[in-house]
Structure 1
Amino acid sequence: MTQQNAEQRPGIAAAIVVSEARVLMVRRRVSEGQLSWQFPAGEVEPGEAREDAAVRETREETGLEVAALKLLGERVHPKTGRLMSYTACEVVGGTAYVADTEELAELAWVAHGAIPQYVPYGLFEPVQDHLDAAMLP
């Protein structure tokens, strides 16, 4: 293994969960810079698909059972420098609550028009496009 590979941090998989024209957002107990509210997300484990990690992290953080629909895209996050993947998910069971009280302070189902109040710096374009299509009439 090269020195560079040894220092690479695992990618982060985020779940974009839309239900009843609202998107699930969580507020971390410890914010990452400006990032306070974000989508359920966490590190991709070795050998795990990005979409599977998004589903697992949503279940671990919020208790909600979701299914991956499609990978929306990935990028190096401009605020954290972490490789991020974004997966559109649908709810298949359960009710969202703060399941991981060590990581999360609260969660919210956010209407399309309120997203900028939670994420004032804007969203990754493929995520915004998906939310526009999924949440607007």
Structure 2
Amino acid sequence: MAEQTDRPGIAAAVIVRDGRVLMVQRRVEEGELSWQFPAGEIEAGESPEAAAVRETAEEVGLTVQATRVLGERVHPKTGRRMSYAACEVVEGTAAVVDTEELAELAWITHGQIAAFVPYGLFPPVQAYLDTEMRRGKDRSG
């Protein structure tokens, strides 16, 4: 799919806690994209990391901080420029706050990723989750 350069980029927050990653289900599906990370458009003058932090607070009520950029790409399903930021929870409990955009959320295990995202994740994000989710499982198990 061609890149849609006329639209702002999207920043996604990849949040791992206790060996699970936070996924949200959009009310309006973008093709096959039903479950995804908390994400939204990057506003003018905003860094992708700041957008990921803001969108997480707006969508699920969690205060997070971006710890590193995992990568950027043009999403093969939507044509939108995507930036992925690893984030850690500072405070709060995840809940569906933006009820217009989100249907539900789930903290999923490493083994559930393929069921929630059958088309696969962006390789740098998958590599990060492979490491971080095992680390969290080792600590909690």
Q: Is the TM value for this pair above 0.5? A: yes
Tell me how large the CA RMSD over aligned residues is: 0.7
Aligned letter for 1:109? Answer: W
* Among 79, 86, 89, the residue aligned to 2:77: 79
Q: Which residue of 2 aligns with 1:4?
A: none
Paired residue total: 131
Segments ≥4 residues shifted beyond 6 Å: none
Q: Unpaired segments of 5 or more residues in structure 1?
A: 1-6
Q: Which residue of 2 aligns with 1:41?
A: 39
Aligned letter for 1:83? Answer: R
Q: What is the SS of the residue equivalent to 1:27?
A: strand
**Residue 67 (structure 1) shift:** 0.4
Deviations 1:40-84 (A, max 9, x none): 000000000000000000000000110000000000000000000
How far apart in 1 are the matches of 2:32 and 2:88? 27
Aligned letter for 2:132? Answer: A
Q: Which residue of 2 aligns with 1:29?
A: 27
Q: Which residue of 1 aligns with 2:104?
A: 106
Q: Which residue of 2 aligns with 1:59?
A: 57
Identity, in percent, stands at 69
Aligned letter for 2:58? Answer: E
Deviations 1:82-102 (A, max 9, x none): 000000000000000000000
Aligned letter for 1:122? Answer: G
TM-score by length of 2: 0.92
How far apart in 1 are the matches of 2:34 and 2:108? 14
TM-score by length of 1: 0.94
* Among 115, 118, 127, the residue aligned to 1:117: 115
